Amino acid sequence: MSEKMVLMQGNEAVTEGAIAAGVRFYAGYPITPSTEIAEIMAKRMPQVGGTFIQMEDEIASIMAIVGASMAGKKVLTATSGPGFSLMQEGLGYACMVEAPIVILDSMRYGPSTGMATKVSQMDLMQTRWGTHGDHWVIVLSPSSVEESYQLTIRAVNLAEKYRNPVIVLSDETISHLREPIDTSISPTIVDRRLPTEKAGYLPYKTDESLVPTIANVGTGFRTSFTGLVHSESGFQTANGHVAEALVERLRDKLFNNLDDIIQFETDRVEDADILFMSFGITARGVSEAVESLRSHGRKAGSLRFITLFPFDDDRVRKAAGNGRTIVVPELNSGQLVLLVKRVFGDSRKVVPMNKINGDLISPQEILSFLREENL
């Protein structure tokens, strides 16, 4: 098929990627800078035979998509920091019942209401630790409109494959950026596995994949979903051994498949003496800075996190080459840098570069920062 280039806004690309992946249920509450997703979904869902519901708040929104997911639909909701905070209890519930859901969080300046139209990367740790208890999520980070489309498809596929919540962590700038993308490529689509035999059916019984084949509600199987610790039957138990095995399985179904889940993008790390680690919109400024440094004879390289979580120290260490100095630019007070320091300890010099005024980090600022810090 020949290329079909379409000029799209980042939020529009998310909606079209979701539809291409098979999403047919959207529930959400409008919030800047993700509002266009709700607006477009209100139009597009009926066109493709899907359902759009504007809920009364973000608590209702996440619970609505959990319910629709357990009934067999591929689902999406979109929000920003304040709304994402309200979704945290529902996110924990989705982890526990193993509901395949996708949440788009378009980061804006915080905390609280903050600055609704200003960019930040302040929600990074919230995606991983926002809800209580030991839980595991997949977090993907686009740095372009094209990736907003492709990673939304990937997010739906991963949610279905591992029966796990997946978060697409975008930001105000990516959400409102307009770039041409190629929509002619037919995406690979993954559907959740379903049980075939009613005899002896247990919703949370698993095989070597550790991913249960839970029947969709209303298909004739006996189903039970609870946020309480549960056995293979889906019913509550207070047995400590069952509880431990459940939490370990929720972890291992992802960590046994890190090769499938984790993605990086590296640029000339092999001979780099200075390495940048970044994600999302900030990685675009890093890319230009690396080009400028290379053109002036400096051996610079970069590692961009496409998958932010699960975060695997060994894979980061191996992907990072041998650069002795690592600079971590991010639009917050220092979140990604904490993970990078955990990986390298005192073996390399890890330097944070933080900006928290609501503006992007430019390539020129990165170059100036290196000079000021004598790096």
- 220 pLDDT more than 80: yes
**Can you name the CATH fold of 5-182?**
Rossmann fold (3.40.50)
pLDDT of 4 reads 82
- pLDDT class of 1 with cuts at 50, 70, 90: very low
pLDDT of the residue at 263 = 98
- Digit-coded pLDDT (tens) for 108-141: 999 999 999 999 999 999 999 999 999 999 999 9
Read off the pLDDT band of 2 (50, 70, 90).
low
> What is the residue-averaged pLDDT of the chain?
97
> Across residues 306-332, what is the average pLDDT?
96
More confident residue, 12 or 3: 12
Res 183: pLDDT: 85
185 pLDDT higher than 90? no
Q: What is the mean pLDDT of residues 287-301?
A: 97
CATH number belonging to domain 265-372 = 3.40.50.920
- The answer, as to whether pTM is greater than 0.75, is yes
Alpha-carbon separation of residue 47 from 19, 52, 114, 186 (angstroms): 10, 11, 36, 19
**Is pLDDT at 103 greater than 80 in this prediction?**
yes
Q: Where are the domains of the chain?
A: 5-182, 265-372
Same CATH topology for 5-182 and 265-372: the answer is yes
Note the pLDDT tens digit of each residue in 6-20: 999 999 999 999 999
Q: Note the pLDDT of residue 135.
A: 97
